[in-house]
Amino acid sequence: MNNSKYQQNTTQEIINEADLQKQKQKHLQLLHKYNNLKDATQTVLGALAQAKGLTVKDIHKMYNLPSHD
- Tens digit of each residue's pLDDT (9 = 90 or more) over 55-65: 999 999 999 99
Where do the domains of the chain lie? 3-63
Q: In terms of DSSP H, where are the helices of the chain?
A: 3-52, 56-62
- What backbone torsions phi and psi does residue 42 show, to the nearest 5 degrees? -65, -35
Q: Is the entire prediction scored with pTM above 0.85? A: no
Measured CA to CA, the distance from residue 50 to residue 20 in angstroms comes to: 45
Which tens digit of pLDDT belongs to each residue from 9-46?
788 888 898 899 999 999 999 999 999 999 999 999 99
